[in-house]
Amino acid sequence: MQTARRWGLWLAVLALSSVSGLVPSAVGGDQKNPQAAEGEKQPAAAKAAPKVGDAAPEFELKGIDGKTYRPADHKDKLVVLEWINQDCPYSNFKTGAGPKAKALSEKYKEKGVVWLAIDSTHYQTVEKNGEYAKQNKIPHPVLMDPDGTAGQAYGAKTTPHVFVIHKGKIVYAGAFDNDPRKDKPKEGYRGYVAEAIEAVLAGKQVPLASTDSWGCSVKYKPKK
């Protein structure tokens, strides 16, 4: 009888803990360092990403070229914002989405698409990113966001995390594609960003406007 009562009490406590959020999740690995979770689960950002259809948040950032960039400067063009971090294996040019981004940037540049890479990594420097861009021949601007202002405004959670903007509004937000580990067979591959760009250029609705991003967590400046 006492054993049954103990089990009943334990189950009641467990149920109460689950409701109140006291039971830690067993899904997604280390939420403080999602990079260790193989990039499949996206970490929580300080702010939720704006919804597709919302106005694209404005920002003003300096590029590694010393120029100032604002989304409003390209309001009549299709703009792609890609959050990057050269230290992230899911974002860089060695093991990540870097080459794919470069290929799409070059492909659609002739069609007037503006591609902007944004680094909200708090410890990165202009010099380091400048050398990185030079080594990998990155064809588009790389913008510095060490304070995380732009990243927080968009709710960027991972590197990469991509937002496609058309006429001042977000038409796609999420993952680069469905192949974070680059092991997807050709017949199963789907390039979400490429699909979105093609759809907008053709005057059509984006087939899949929102997906869960994958990658390393954006390394925002720690709160004091």
pTM over 0.85: no
Q: Which two tokens stand for residue 101?
A: 């981004």
CA 148 to chain centre: 13
CA distance 89 to 79: 25
Q: Which residues contact 189 (CB under 8 A, 6 or more apart)?
A: 177, 178, 179
pLDDT of residue 48: 59
Summarised one tens digit per residue, pLDDT across range 29-55 is: 222 333 333 443 444 444 556 899 999
- Tracing tokens 């590694």 back to the chain, one arrives at 64
Q: Where are the domains of the chain?
A: 31-217
Q: Does 184 have pLDDT greater than 60?
A: yes
Q: Which two tokens stand for residue 94?
A: 């060695």
Helices 192-201 and 98-109, axial angle in degrees (round to 10): 10
How is domain 31-217 classified at the architecture level of CATH? 3-Layer(aba) Sandwich (3.40)
Summarised one tens digit per residue, pLDDT across range 83-125 is: 999 999 999 999 999 999 999 999 999 999 999 999 999 999 9
pLDDT of residue 224: 76
